[in-house]
Amino acid sequence: MPTRRGVLLIFLLLAAAGMGLSLSLYPFLAQNHPLPQAELIIIEGWMPDAELQGVIDRLEPGALFVTTGGPIKLGGNLFKEKTYADMTTVRLRNLGVPAESIVSAPAPDVDADRTYVSARAVRDKLEEQGLFGRSANIYTLGAHSRRSFFLYKKAFDSEASSLGVVSLESEDTDIRHWCRSSLAFRQVVGEAIAWFYVQCTRWKY
Protein backbone atom coordinates (compact mmCIF):
# COMPACT_ATOMS: atom_id res chain seq x y z
CA MET A 1 0.00 0.00 0.00
CA PRO A 2 1.30 3.51 -0.76
CA THR A 3 2.00 5.92 2.04
CA ARG A 4 -0.06 9.06 2.57
CA ARG A 5 2.61 11.00 0.78
CA GLY A 6 2.48 8.49 -2.07
CA VAL A 7 -1.31 8.79 -2.31
CA LEU A 8 -1.03 12.58 -2.40
CA LEU A 9 1.62 12.39 -5.10
CA ILE A 10 -0.53 10.05 -7.21
CA PHE A 11 -3.51 12.39 -6.80
CA LEU A 12 -1.43 15.42 -7.84
CA LEU A 13 -0.08 13.58 -10.88
CA LEU A 14 -3.58 12.55 -11.96
CA ALA A 15 -4.86 16.10 -11.44
CA ALA A 16 -1.99 17.50 -13.52
CA ALA A 17 -2.64 14.96 -16.26
CA GLY A 18 -6.34 15.82 -16.27
CA MET A 19 -5.63 19.53 -16.49
CA GLY A 20 -3.15 18.99 -19.30
CA LEU A 21 -5.73 16.91 -21.18
CA SER A 22 -8.42 19.54 -20.74
CA LEU A 23 -6.10 22.24 -22.11
CA SER A 24 -4.67 20.31 -25.05
CA LEU A 25 -7.48 18.03 -26.28
CA TYR A 26 -9.59 20.63 -28.07
CA PRO A 27 -6.63 22.36 -29.81
CA PHE A 28 -5.48 18.91 -30.98
CA LEU A 29 -8.89 18.00 -32.43
CA ALA A 30 -9.65 21.47 -33.86
CA GLN A 31 -6.97 21.27 -36.53
CA ASN A 32 -6.38 24.29 -38.74
CA HIS A 33 -4.31 23.75 -41.86
CA PRO A 34 -5.77 25.98 -44.61
CA LEU A 35 -4.30 26.23 -48.07
CA PRO A 36 -3.81 29.79 -49.31
CA GLN A 37 -5.70 30.60 -52.50
CA ALA A 38 -7.67 27.32 -52.45
CA GLU A 39 -9.86 26.98 -55.55
CA LEU A 40 -12.66 24.98 -53.90
CA ILE A 41 -14.52 25.49 -50.62
CA ILE A 42 -15.89 22.22 -49.25
CA ILE A 43 -18.71 22.85 -46.75
CA GLU A 44 -19.90 20.12 -44.39
CA GLY A 45 -23.64 20.55 -44.76
CA TRP A 46 -24.63 20.14 -41.12
CA MET A 47 -22.81 23.38 -40.24
CA PRO A 48 -25.05 25.89 -38.33
CA ASP A 49 -26.25 29.07 -40.04
CA ALA A 50 -23.99 31.47 -38.11
CA GLU A 51 -20.84 29.56 -39.03
CA LEU A 52 -21.97 29.22 -42.65
CA GLN A 53 -22.34 32.99 -42.81
CA GLY A 54 -18.86 33.26 -41.26
CA VAL A 55 -17.40 31.20 -44.10
CA ILE A 56 -18.90 33.52 -46.71
CA ASP A 57 -17.75 36.62 -44.85
CA ARG A 58 -14.11 35.55 -44.85
CA LEU A 59 -13.91 34.66 -48.55
CA GLU A 60 -13.46 36.75 -51.66
CA PRO A 61 -16.37 36.79 -54.13
CA GLY A 62 -16.16 34.15 -56.85
CA ALA A 63 -15.31 31.13 -54.68
CA LEU A 64 -16.62 27.75 -55.84
CA PHE A 65 -18.48 25.94 -53.06
CA VAL A 66 -18.98 22.19 -52.72
CA THR A 67 -21.72 21.16 -50.26
CA THR A 68 -21.71 17.78 -48.56
CA GLY A 69 -23.90 15.58 -46.40
CA GLY A 70 -26.30 12.67 -46.44
CA PRO A 71 -30.04 12.35 -45.81
CA ILE A 72 -31.81 14.63 -43.33
CA LYS A 73 -33.38 12.28 -40.80
CA LEU A 74 -34.82 14.74 -38.30
CA GLY A 75 -37.76 16.58 -39.81
CA GLY A 76 -36.67 15.62 -43.31
CA ASN A 77 -40.28 15.41 -44.46
CA LEU A 78 -40.62 19.15 -43.80
CA PHE A 79 -38.07 20.09 -46.45
CA LYS A 80 -38.10 19.87 -50.21
CA GLU A 81 -34.38 19.06 -50.05
CA LYS A 82 -33.70 15.60 -48.64
CA THR A 83 -29.95 15.80 -47.95
CA TYR A 84 -27.74 18.20 -46.02
CA ALA A 85 -25.80 18.85 -49.22
CA ASP A 86 -28.87 20.02 -51.11
CA MET A 87 -30.25 21.95 -48.15
CA THR A 88 -26.96 23.81 -47.71
CA THR A 89 -26.96 24.63 -51.41
CA VAL A 90 -30.23 26.48 -50.83
CA ARG A 91 -28.84 28.11 -47.67
CA LEU A 92 -25.84 29.42 -49.61
CA ARG A 93 -28.08 30.78 -52.35
CA ASN A 94 -30.18 32.55 -49.73
CA LEU A 95 -26.99 34.12 -48.42
CA GLY A 96 -26.19 35.54 -51.84
CA VAL A 97 -23.94 32.88 -53.38
CA PRO A 98 -24.75 32.44 -57.10
CA ALA A 99 -26.21 29.06 -58.04
CA GLU A 100 -23.46 28.52 -60.63
CA SER A 101 -20.86 28.81 -57.84
CA ILE A 102 -22.24 25.83 -55.90
CA VAL A 103 -21.75 22.11 -56.53
CA SER A 104 -23.90 19.77 -54.44
CA ALA A 105 -22.39 16.38 -53.56
CA PRO A 106 -25.03 14.47 -51.55
CA ALA A 107 -23.92 11.27 -49.85
CA PRO A 108 -25.92 8.02 -49.60
CA ASP A 109 -27.61 6.85 -46.42
CA VAL A 110 -25.20 4.77 -44.31
CA ASP A 111 -25.08 3.59 -40.71
CA ALA A 112 -21.35 4.10 -40.17
CA ASP A 113 -18.40 6.12 -41.51
CA ARG A 114 -20.65 8.97 -42.67
CA THR A 115 -17.81 11.49 -42.96
CA TYR A 116 -15.73 9.16 -45.10
CA VAL A 117 -18.73 8.32 -47.30
CA SER A 118 -19.40 12.05 -47.71
CA ALA A 119 -15.77 12.58 -48.70
CA ARG A 120 -16.03 9.83 -51.32
CA ALA A 121 -19.22 11.44 -52.66
CA VAL A 122 -17.35 14.75 -52.97
CA ARG A 123 -14.52 13.07 -54.84
CA ASP A 124 -16.96 11.34 -57.21
CA LYS A 125 -18.77 14.61 -57.91
CA LEU A 126 -15.53 16.52 -58.50
CA GLU A 127 -14.34 13.83 -60.91
CA GLU A 128 -17.69 14.00 -62.70
CA GLN A 129 -17.41 17.79 -63.01
CA GLY A 130 -13.75 17.71 -64.05
CA LEU A 131 -12.74 19.52 -60.86
CA PHE A 132 -10.86 16.79 -59.02
CA GLY A 133 -7.26 17.74 -58.32
CA ARG A 134 -7.93 21.42 -57.69
CA SER A 135 -6.82 22.77 -54.34
CA ALA A 136 -9.57 22.79 -51.71
CA ASN A 137 -10.19 23.81 -48.12
CA ILE A 138 -12.62 21.83 -45.98
CA TYR A 139 -14.68 24.04 -43.68
CA THR A 140 -16.04 22.25 -40.65
CA LEU A 141 -16.87 22.82 -37.01
CA GLY A 142 -14.42 22.78 -34.10
CA ALA A 143 -13.30 19.43 -32.83
CA HIS A 144 -14.58 17.63 -35.93
CA SER A 145 -11.89 19.11 -38.16
CA ARG A 146 -9.01 16.70 -37.47
CA ARG A 147 -11.17 13.67 -38.20
CA SER A 148 -12.68 15.25 -41.32
CA PHE A 149 -9.24 16.20 -42.63
CA PHE A 150 -7.91 12.69 -42.04
CA LEU A 151 -10.85 11.01 -43.78
CA TYR A 152 -10.90 13.40 -46.73
CA LYS A 153 -7.21 12.74 -47.30
CA LYS A 154 -7.99 9.02 -47.28
CA ALA A 155 -10.87 9.47 -49.72
CA PHE A 156 -8.92 11.77 -52.05
CA ASP A 157 -5.90 9.44 -51.99
CA SER A 158 -3.13 10.79 -54.24
CA GLU A 159 -4.60 14.29 -54.25
CA ALA A 160 -4.35 14.69 -50.46
CA SER A 161 -1.59 17.27 -50.81
CA SER A 162 -4.09 19.65 -52.41
CA LEU A 163 -6.36 19.63 -49.33
CA GLY A 164 -6.52 22.02 -46.40
CA VAL A 165 -8.88 22.33 -43.45
CA VAL A 166 -10.39 25.23 -41.53
CA SER A 167 -11.92 24.74 -38.07
CA LEU A 168 -14.72 27.13 -37.18
CA GLU A 169 -15.83 27.73 -33.60
CA SER A 170 -19.51 27.54 -32.74
CA GLU A 171 -21.12 30.67 -31.33
CA ASP A 172 -23.44 28.51 -29.21
CA THR A 173 -20.85 27.13 -26.80
CA ASP A 174 -17.58 28.22 -25.19
CA ILE A 175 -15.82 25.28 -26.78
CA ARG A 176 -12.31 26.27 -25.67
CA HIS A 177 -13.46 25.79 -22.08
CA TRP A 178 -15.28 22.59 -22.92
CA CYS A 179 -15.12 21.15 -19.39
CA ARG A 180 -17.48 23.88 -18.18
CA SER A 181 -20.38 22.97 -20.49
CA SER A 182 -22.18 19.65 -20.83
CA LEU A 183 -22.83 20.31 -24.55
CA ALA A 184 -19.21 21.22 -25.28
CA PHE A 185 -18.00 18.31 -23.13
CA ARG A 186 -20.07 15.85 -25.16
CA GLN A 187 -18.83 17.34 -28.42
CA VAL A 188 -15.14 17.21 -27.54
CA VAL A 189 -15.16 13.83 -25.79
CA GLY A 190 -17.34 12.36 -28.53
CA GLU A 191 -14.95 13.58 -31.21
CA ALA A 192 -11.98 12.24 -29.26
CA ILE A 193 -13.62 8.81 -29.15
CA ALA A 194 -14.49 9.02 -32.85
CA TRP A 195 -10.90 10.01 -33.67
CA PHE A 196 -9.63 6.99 -31.72
CA TYR A 197 -12.12 4.77 -33.59
CA VAL A 198 -10.93 6.05 -36.95
CA GLN A 199 -7.31 5.40 -36.04
CA CYS A 200 -8.11 1.85 -34.94
CA THR A 201 -10.12 1.03 -38.06
CA ARG A 202 -8.26 2.87 -40.78
CA TRP A 203 -7.48 -0.48 -42.45
CA LYS A 204 -11.04 -0.34 -43.76
CA TYR A 205 -10.17 2.55 -46.03
Cβ 68 vs Cβ 124: under 8 Å? no
pLDDT one digit per residue (tens) for the chain, 205 residues = 666 665 555 555 555 545 545 556 778 888 888 998 889 999 999 888 888 998 888 887 778 999 999 998 877 677 788 899 999 999 999 999 999 999 999 999 888 888 999 999 999 999 999 999 899 999 998 888 999 999 999 898 866 678 999 988 766 655 556 566 666 777 777 788 887 888 777 545 4
Full-model pTM:
0.81
d(CA 125, CA 132): 8
Contacts of residues 91-94 at CB distance under 8 Å and 24 or more positions apart, as own/partner, are: 91/49, 91/52, 92/43, 92/52, 92/56, 92/65, 92/67
Residue-wise pLDDT tens digits, 192-203: 888 788 877 754
Distance of CA 114 to the CA centre of its chain: 11
